[in-house]
Amino acid sequence: MSAHLPDEQNHFPGLSRIGALLADPGRAAMLWALMDGSARPAGELTLIAGLSPSAASAHLARLTDGGLLALEVRGRHRYFRIASPDIAASIEALANVAQASAAQRPIPRPARTVPVDMRYARTCYDHMAGELSVQLFERMLNHKLLTLHGNMLDATPAGAAQLASWGIDVAAQQSRRRRFACTCPDWSERRPHLGGALGAALLDAWSSHGWVERTERPRILRITPAGHRQFDAFLTN
């Protein structure tokens, strides 16, 4: 008797399709290169993935058709970016799962260290991730500036006041179609940082204040001396 396969749409909608898209190392490399929130040309992604132009074109088409990438046409050039913040957060979460499962394998594996600058402050699509981001998020929770409901968050009155001091209009962020605030797994810290519209707004605000700067290295953020003073004061008060 042949086994009856479950109806994918009812039992695990789309998981096998998404899994197949992520399973190829070349496609995974192109997706990870776009996790800084940038839009990159097809030629650059081809080099990053180490593929031939024809193979890269086929992989990019699959990722776009599958809804993981969005295509932007600029003149004669094609640029690709992660299709949405939720997809970026899912990729970051999968990186966290991959690291955790690798550590549980019985076969000894060489230790893989995370570069200090990558671990301390980096982008996770359009918000900040890394050690500092996790510390700031935990401080917000411990001081009841944010309240946690599952993996979703709300700002308390005290939190709204703190966010306003950083230049964040909570009501404006809550009115956006995007989720206001949510937890996002941090693959280097194994603890969540802040994602959603609020996470993106905070990175924009801290950048505009001159506390955080993007660097020439993809995803890595630099905390300025002024930023260190501001964040240290917030974390210790």
CA 232 to chain centre: 24
HSE-CB for 207 with a 13 A CA cutoff: 16
Q: What is the CATH number of domain 10-83?
A: 1.10.10.10
pLDDT the model gives residue 86: 79
Sequential pLDDT tens for the chain (237 residues): 445 555 545 555 677 888 888 889 999 989 988 877 788 899 999 998 899 999 999 999 999 999 999 999 988 889 999 998 778 878 877 876 676 565 555 443 433 456 677 889 998 888 999 999 999 999 999 999 999 988 789 999 999 999 999 999 999 999 887 889 989 888 788 889 999 899 999 999 999 999 999 988 778 899 999 999 999 999 998
Angle at 183 between CA 141 and CA 143, to 5 degrees: 5
* Rounded Cα gap, residues 54 and 73, in angstroms: 18
For residue 148, what is the DSSP state? Answer: E
The letter for the amino acid at 191 is R
* Rounded Cα gap, residues 44 and 26, in angstroms: 13
For residue 191, what is the DSSP state? Answer: S
Among candidate residues 185, 214, 183, 217, the one with its CA nearest the CA of residue 199: 183
pLDDT the model gives residue 142: 96
* Rounded Cα gap, residues 202 and 196, in angstroms: 10
- Partners of 74 in beta bridges: 77
Which ranges in the chain are annotated with CATH 1.10.10.10?
10-83
- Partners of 122 in beta bridges: 129, 220
pLDDT the model gives residue 7: 52
Dihedral sign for Cα atoms in the order 222, 210, 224, 234: negative
Beta strands in 94-163 (DSSP E): 122-124, 127-129, 146-149, 152-155
Rg (CA), the chain: 20
- Partners of 72 in beta bridges: 79
